Amino acid sequence: MSGVFVVAHISDLHFDGSEYHRSRVEAVLRYINARADGIDALLITGDLVDRGTAAEYDDAFGTIHSPLPTLITIGNHDDREHYNDRFRQDPGRAHANSALTVNGVQLLLVDSSIPGRAPGYIDDADLDWLEAQLHDAEPGTPALIAFHHPPVDVHMPYMDTIRQTGEERLAELVDRYPNIVAFLCGHIHSAAVTTFAGRPLCIAPGVASTLNLPFEGSGVLNEGQPPGIAFHLIGDDNRIVTHFRAVIN
């Protein structure tokens, strides 16, 4: 890698058949696609749809288009079988893991969803897949690892009850690969940055909606907040810098 590597990162699209949610997704994609010449890849970290129906996936598939290399994983609102049928043309319950090396940076998306449940967990087979991808890459290749559920508390009381668990197994893997630059996720509908296992953890804002922090109001939704994007920039020193953008649709 030479120069600055740029990842556009969106999450929590929640296609539900409404024009409201579709228009928010269209707005962020227009913003990203209009600037694609300066961006290396697009990552979508789950909750593509709201109820997991085939019709919602038809809507999502018909709307999500970009000239950029695009990697997608799923979240707790998604349905693996319907997702695989529409986005992979391969009906089944295979986990939504994907790997791609773009301009010298390894992008690894891991499925943290548990069918029928809201919390997240990366099972042993997926951790083995992740480690194999890291092991087989050219030594020193900077890597970004993404999934839906954050593996730490984010001080949002309800969301902390449905975060990723079993994270100590992921943390053990991290110690073996100093080339892991950062972790990326979504789920909490709130732009945030913290750390996990000594690496940055960058959380994308919600496209469909923003959720309140405890001091922002008694309601669940933070009404009036626009959809958002995280832009992750990695320089030659492999240090990540994240910039957030709100998009008026």
The whole-number pLDDT of residue 223 equals 86
Query: Tokens 């749809």 label which residue?
Result: 49
Check: CB of residue 150 under 8 Å from CB of residue 201: yes
How many domains are there within the chain? Answer: 1
Cα–Cα distances (Å) from 241 to 124, 181, 182, 234, 236, in that order, read 30, 11, 10, 7, 12
How many C-beta atoms surround the C-beta of residue 82 within 10 A?
21
Average pLDDT, 10 consecutive residues per value, the chain (249 residues): 89 98 98 98 98 97 98 98 91 90 98 97 97 95 98 97 98 94 98 98 98 93 95 96 94
Residue 248 is predicted with a pLDDT of 87
User: Which domain does 106 fall in, by range?
Assistant: 5-246
pLDDT in tens, 139-185: 999 999 999 999 999 999 999 999 999 999 999 999 899 999 999 99
CATH of the domain at 235: 3.60.21.10
Residue 144, helix vs strand vs coil: strand
- Look at residue 64 in the predicted model and tell me its pLDDT: 98
